[in-house]
Amino acid sequence: MAIGSASNPGIERTSGAFPCLVLVQGQEQKSVVLDHSPFSIGRKIDKDLVISDPRVSRDHALITSEEGTFYVSDQGSKHGTFVNGERVERQKLQRNDRLEFGVRDGAYVIFHPVTATSNTAREFLSQIAGLEISTDTTDLEKLTMFLDAARKLNTTGVLDEILVTVADTTLKLTRAERAYVFLKGEDGSLRLAAGRNSKGEVLIDDTTISHSILDEALHSASEFLVTDTSQSLDLAGRHSIVAYDLRTVICIPLRKPQVQAARRDPVAPSTGSGTEIIGALYVDSRFASRDISSVSNDILRAIATEAAQLVENARLVQAEEESRRYQQELAIASSMQKGLMEVHIPEVPFARVSGRNLQCKEIGGDFYDAVSTEDHFAVFLVDVCGKGVSAALLASTLQGMVYSHLVARMPLAEIVAAVNRFFTQKHLGEKYATMVIARISRDGEMEYVNCGHVPPLLVSQEQVVRPSAGNLPVGLLADATYESSHVQLQRGDRLLLVTDGVTEAENARGDFYENERLEAVAARSSSLDDILSSLANFCGGTPLSDDCTVVELVYTGI
Amino acid sequence: MPLKMESKTVGGVTVVRCIGRIIFGDEAVALRSTLKNILATNKKILLDLSEVSYIDSGGLGTLVGVYSSARSAGAEIKLTGLGQRVRDVLQITKLVTVFEVYDSEPKALAAFH
């Protein structure tokens, strides 16, 4: 059974501002954020949560948010919706409720579980919540409390948690009814990031706030904007204020803290209109509720500065987290690449192949592989120009092409011509590869093609020959032509393929390892380890600047 | 050591003397942008590589890339002053058959006419 989330493919978010659903299926867990209402569940592919099991109906259930409370309602499903084992038509949801859709023995969903990992901010928040703010608490005390919150929260790394806490703390300080935190997206538009009411409930709908005031605050140069509708005569265009009976709206633009600018020009206020806006804090209360227009300006100024600092820090932490995740992705790609490049050398009675590879970066551009067909045995060594991910991508593609063409027993010159055509047609910029393919038959007849590669070493009875026949690298020039060559091998003859990382390995003096040293050691030893240790001795402590690969093909005869 | 490039114009040909290593990264990028800038105004370039101590695969890719796009735009890039190292690399990759290589600057300049 496949489980997918149509609204959030592949993306997992921590929940803090919005409740989440955790899907549990066997050992697998997946978290989906309930960031809109209604949230649909069913087998149909356009559902917010898709559960592809025949026992789940196409339109199975909806989760809706009604004034901060969440309800699940069955949409006439065939096999029913269950909350904590009870079949329900419509049911109010509480944290940790277990939801099942048609399937009683398969996947289930936990509504907004209380997790151990996201509690730091919450715990701290509950401490603050425990403090009753009496009416005679001075502004200074409130300010201290906020600063304290700011300092403590800087140590937590979860952006959503911080935003919720900013909203809650602002509600505490202003004693407003609702608080929303907006963050500016990459496209410059504001996106609701957290919403809370004074009862501590989650608000995910921002249609009932005054967007005109929000806009006005963002375009004004002031630190905050307090709108008391009972004092304001001009309500034209303020639809929300009229429609939702809003009395006081406070809007605080969150401006990127600018330490550098302030230092360069001490006269300029750090919260001037020129500074970049990263978001906004919006609080309001209705006529029916208390008047919040008398909130001290000091408090609002403190919130403006501290909240911006908090959000900015949280964003930095999140960026770090994203880059860490990106690093993980790269590590996965690297291990996949290693898996693809892992060589399984087939055994044939008349030849033997061994290879060694020293990588100087996590993902390298050198690779080799061997293919056996009915009465031929082929080995190829490729060096893709450049390093890192782009080289690895090209390497994987090349490997697949060469491998499959060899299996199809195509002539070597045609294989490299096809690869060259493919890469030059795809316009990969200045990416290309050098390679050698050698294919021997049972009787020792060897065909090889060298495309811009270091000439191979043919070792016959301790004599080293360097066949110089060669062609252009593949991927550089569309009109390149390729020719292969033939050599008759005797039993015991060895063909040694190396990448230029070997011949161009440097020692501390800046000398290259060179062909002479390579040929000398190849002549006297048939062990690849001897070549590598000769290389290591030469380089001393100087790190390799390019991948080094050595592959040996020995014709053992029949 | 960054790649330094000095250029002069001799008889309608821009002679670019490269000093340093032509390698993958900043050096290759610098070479490409310098040559592209020149190609915008002059279609005859002679690259003097006598003070290039080393060229790696990335540098070579850049050189061929600029060379091919110049060719298709009707421009000419010729090479002179190949040191042993650069000559070896062009020999191994058979690119010596692609580029027009001359022993000396006067011979190369004469070949433009």
| Closest partner CB to A476 (pick from B56, B58, B64) | B64
- Residue that wins the pLDDT comparison between A11 and A323: A323
Per-residue pLDDT at A260 exceeds 50: no
Instruction: State the amino acid at position B102 in one-letter form.
Output: Y
**pLDDT on residue A550:** 92
CB contact under 8 A, A471 and B62: no
Least confident window among A240-244, A440-444, A469-473: A240-244
- Kindly report the average pLDDT of chain A as a whole number: 79
**pLDDT on residue A262:** 39
Per-residue pLDDT at A456 exceeds 70: yes
CB contact under 8 A, B57 and A500: yes
Q: Does A476 touch chain B (CB under 8 A)?
A: yes
Distance in angstroms (rounded) separating the CA atoms of residues B5 and B16: 6
Q: Look up residue A418 and give its two tokens.
A: 């096809």
Which positions in chain A touch B24 (Cβ < 8 Å)?
Answer: 385-387
Per-residue pLDDT at A10 exceeds 50: no
Q: In this structure, how many other beta carbons lie within 10 angstroms of the beta carbon of residue A250?
A: 25
Task: Using pLDDT thresholds of 50, 70 and 90, give the confidence band for residue A137.
Answer: low
Least confident window among A196-200, A230-234, A248-252, A504-508: A230-234
> Nearest Cα to A41, choosing from A102, A91, A114?
A102
**pLDDT on residue A232:** 58
> Are residues A246 and A284 in contact, defined by beta-carbon separation less than 8 angstroms?
yes
Distance in angstroms (rounded) separating the CA atoms of residues A232 and A215: 17
| Closest partner CB to B62 (pick from A430, A454, A473) | A430
Task: Using pLDDT thresholds of 50, 70 and 90, give the confidence band for residue A142.
Answer: low
| Closest partner CB to B24 (pick from A386, A434, A477) | A386
Which positions in chain B touch A509 (Cβ < 8 Å)?
Answer: none
Judged by DSSP in three states, A518 sits in helix
End-to-end CA distance of chain B: 35
Mean pLDDT of A14-27: 70
Task: Using pLDDT thresholds of 50, 70 and 90, give the confidence band for residue A447.
Answer: very high
Distance in angstroms (rounded) separating the CA atoms of residues B19 and B35: 14
Task: Using pLDDT thresholds of 50, 70 and 90, give the confidence band for residue A342.
Answer: confident
Q: Does A386 touch chain B (CB under 8 A)?
A: yes
**pLDDT on residue A320:** 72
Q: What is the DSSP string of A318-376?
A: HHHHHHHHHHHHHHHHHHHHHHHH---PPPBTTEEEEEEEE-SSSS-SEEEEEEEETTE
Q: In this structure, how many other beta carbons lie within 10 angstroms of the beta carbon of residue B78?
A: 21
Per-residue pLDDT at A350 exceeds 50: yes
Q: In this structure, how many other beta carbons lie within 10 angstroms of the beta carbon of residue A537?
A: 10
**pLDDT on residue A6:** 39
| Closest partner CB to A455 (pick from B61, B92, B95) | B92
- Residue that wins the pLDDT comparison between A75 and A156: A75
**pLDDT on residue A205:** 83
CB contact under 8 A, A452 and B58: no
Distance in angstroms (rounded) separating the CA atoms of residues A455 and A502: 12
> Nearest Cα to A526, choosing from A379, A354, A368, A351?
A354
Q: Which residues contact B87 (CB under 8 A, 6 or more apart)?
A: B96
- Which of A428, A430, A546, A548 to mutate against chain B (most B CBs within 10 Å)? A430
- Which of B33, B93, B95, B97 to mutate against chain A (most A CBs within 10 Å)? B93
| Closest partner CB to A472 (pick from B24, B65, B95) | B95
Which positions in chain B touch A452 (Cβ < 8 Å)?
Answer: 92-95
- Residue that wins the pLDDT comparison between A56 and A541: A56
Q: In this structure, how many other beta carbons lie within 10 angstroms of the beta carbon of residue A39?
A: 23
**pLDDT on residue A53:** 84
Distance in angstroms (rounded) separating the CA atoms of residues B12 and B15: 9
Most confident of A364-378, A474-488, A532-546: A474-488
E strands, B23-83, in order: 44-55, 76-80
Mean pLDDT of A161-172: 79
| Closest partner CB to A471 (pick from B28, B58, B94) | B94
**pLDDT on residue A434:** 92
- Residue that wins the pLDDT comparison between A60 and A130: A60
Peptide bond between residue A456 and the one before it cis (omega within 30 degrees of 0): no
CB contact under 8 A, B94 and A383: no
Q: What is the pLDDT of residues A275-327, one digit of tens each?
A: 788 888 898 887 655 666 667 777 777 777 777 777 777 777 667 777 777 88
CB contact under 8 A, B57 and A477: no
**pLDDT on residue A292:** 67
Digit-by-digit pLDDT tens for chain B (113 residues) are 688 999 999 999 999 999 999 887 888 889 999 999 999 999 999 999 999 988 888 888 889 888 988 988 899 999 999 998 899 889 888 898 889 999 999 999 999 87
Per-residue pLDDT at A114 exceeds 70: no
Per-residue pLDDT at A339 exceeds 50: yes
**What is the least distance, in Å, from the CA of A510 to any CA of chain B?**
11
Mean pLDDT of A224-245: 66
Mean pLDDT of A396-404: 90
Q: Does A42 touch chain B (CB under 8 A)?
A: no
Which positions in chain B touch A387 (Cβ < 8 Å)?
Answer: 24
Per-residue pLDDT at A146 exceeds 50: yes
Q: Which residues contact A272 (CB under 8 A, 6 or more apart)?
A: A221
Q: pLDDT > 70: what percent of chain A?
A: 79
Q: In this structure, how many other beta carbons lie within 10 angstroms of the beta carbon of residue B105?
A: 17
Which positions in chain A touch B59 (Cβ < 8 Å)?
Answer: none
Q: In this structure, how many other beta carbons lie within 10 angstroms of the beta carbon of residue A212?
A: 15
Per-residue pLDDT at A417 exceeds 50: yes
Per-residue pLDDT at A197 exceeds 70: yes
Task: Using pLDDT thresholds of 50, 70 and 90, give the confidence band for residue A266.
Answer: very low
CB contact under 8 A, B64 and A453: no
In this structure, the strands spanning A548-555 and A463-465 are unpaired
**pLDDT on residue A156:** 46
Judged by DSSP in three states, A152 sits in helix
Please give the ipTM for the structure prediction. 0.82
Distance in angstroms (rounded) separating the CA atoms of residues A227 and A211: 13
> From A385, which residue of chain B is nearest by alpha-carbon distance?
B57
Mean pLDDT of A125-149: 53
